[in-house]
Amino acid sequence: MWWLWVPIGGALLLRAAELIAVAQQASLANDLLLDSDLYAAMAQRVSNGDLLLGSEPFAVGPLYAYLLAFFRLVFGSSNVPVFVCQQTAGLLSVALIALLARKLASPMGACLAGLAFAAYAPAVLLECKILGESWALLAALGVTYFAQRGRMAWSGVSLGLACLLRPDLVLCIAIGTLYTLRPERASAGWWRRPGELSFSRCLRWTAPAICIVGLATARNWAVASEFVPVSSQVGITFYQGNNSRAEGTFSIPADFSGDKLTQEAEARSIAERSRGKRLTAREVNSHFMSQGIDYLSADVPRALGLFSHKFAYFLANAELSGEYVVSAERCLAVPLHGALTPFGLFLAFFVIGLRRARQKDPELLAWAGLFILGGLLTALIFFASSRYRLVAAAHLAIFVGAGWDELREQWPRPLTRPVLAGALLFALSWLPARQAMRFQAASELYNLGGKQYERGDYHDAIRYYLAARQVRTKDVDVHYNLAQAYAMVGDYASAARELTTVLELKPGAADAREYLRRYRAQAAEGTPATDAAALCDL
């Protein structure tokens, strides 16, 4: 079983180093007003006795809030024990990938499959965030593991739990239902000739999943008398990926602040102002769904271009997200530099090993394909994101071993069509989204600089703002906030220089003009300059 313990050991070493780095910087990135704050607020309400979480439909998948409340009850308010538990879930995910890969490949191939995903940066960094991604990933891999072993009921339970952690996985219930309806003897080619549908197996798999998701649906109906399967934010999320500012990744539409804690209230206010009447949560959701559809239908060529961007970003090595960007996180936690597996590697080995997987275990290929297809459809419907494609990446990693064995068998003449196709896909995966990734990394560091400023750590705030300025060179807010941070440490000359840039970009900024006059006067008194440097090079 060395092929199982080697990737687990490698994953453990990398995650231990990451945990130490996160603990040292006090989990600063979790202080951003994003999903982390929303889940923390929900967990606090559960801890205070509000077990149904208010009188509105769930805004996000609710299961992680209850898990977080349980962890806080057991371990206290520290995030570190929560991260340890999530890293344990990550180790189990690596083990499941190696076990599933062994069905298709040699022991060495299974080992490489586990190691490849153990060093996949989004999986590592999301385990140290107040987010449910690591648990959703484990549950999704459980779906494949149990289904491949014929335990359909347990597979359905795993899928139901995964949906309560990541509502977008509800899409996999619909796709999986169609697959489980196929005749039992799938290898005979059920899609080519008529046969009896397998209602029994479909029911064994679908019923547990629907029953578990139905708990959230029943709760939403009980508190709000509205039919909302899991989350009421589907329409808003759709609009975030399909509006005039959208480019294939997460975007903040006009009139939204981007604050997750106020997003629901902002959405209701915007929708009610547009409709001129009070709206229910479902009507608000429908309003933004319609807004997104109207935007796409108004200009079909533009919509096709947007979908092509989403598709390219889904296949790209660049890790894009609305919250956490790998290149920015590597500035905060050095061990992440050891998580080097590019997404394109999974794609390449999937293509190379596809023929072997079809021969060895077509059932496993089908179940893994369910989540790969689900991840792609989610990206196309909403937007491309590291979080949205994490489950797809894990299922692609299962085929690394099969691809490795295929290459080894073909050596020294491996230039077959699958190998050439995989190599081409790997090369293309490096091309798109480089600038988008740098901009999102700069945005995260800018937000973190604001947090440092609020805490009174002005020197650190300057370092974050300087890193963000490398990319957001014409962003008035970056220059303005950097000027104020310089002023707080007494470097008025640098503050005046930044405000001069602000006025060049925005001549009408009266407050910047007043601060510039004041800081120039103080700089003339000979105030010392700070030696702060950018946190990292983007």
Task: Considering only residues 99 and 436, tell me which one the structure prediction assigns the higher pLDDT.
Answer: 99
- Specify whether the CB–CB gap between 430 and 313 falls below 8 A: no
Lowest mean pLDDT among 254-263, 475-484, 487-496, 515-524: 254-263
For residue 179, how many other CB atoms are within 10 A of its CB?
18
Lowest mean pLDDT among 20-34, 236-250, 453-467: 20-34
Percent of the chain with pLDDT over 70: 93
Of the candidates 22, 136, 153, which has an alpha carbon nearest to the alpha carbon of residue 375? 136
Mean pLDDT of the region 31-36 = 52
Q: Is the model's pLDDT at 26 over the cut of 60?
A: no
Rounded distance, CA 353 to CA 398, Å?
Answer: 10
Rounded distance, CA 42 to CA 6, Å?
Answer: 38
Note the pLDDT tens digit of each residue in 335-349. 888 999 999 999 999
The owner of tokens 């996949």 is: 120
Note the pLDDT tens digit of each residue in 342-370. 999 999 999 999 999 999 999 999 999 99
The owner of tokens 């769904």 is: 289
Q: How many helices (DSSP H) and strands (DSSP E) are in the chain? A: 25, 0
The pLDDT of residue 196: 55
Q: Catalogue all structural domains in the chain, each as residue range(s) with its CATH number.
A: 2-227+318-428 (no CATH), 434-523 (1.25.40.10)
Rounded distance, CA 238 to CA 256, Å?
Answer: 14
Q: If DSSP states are collapsed to H, E and C, what string results for 92-104?
A: HHHHHHHHHHHCC
Note the pLDDT tens digit of each residue in 195-242. 456 788 899 999 999 999 999 999 999 998 989 999 988 999 999 999
- Specify whether the CB–CB gap between 430 and 343 falls below 8 A: no
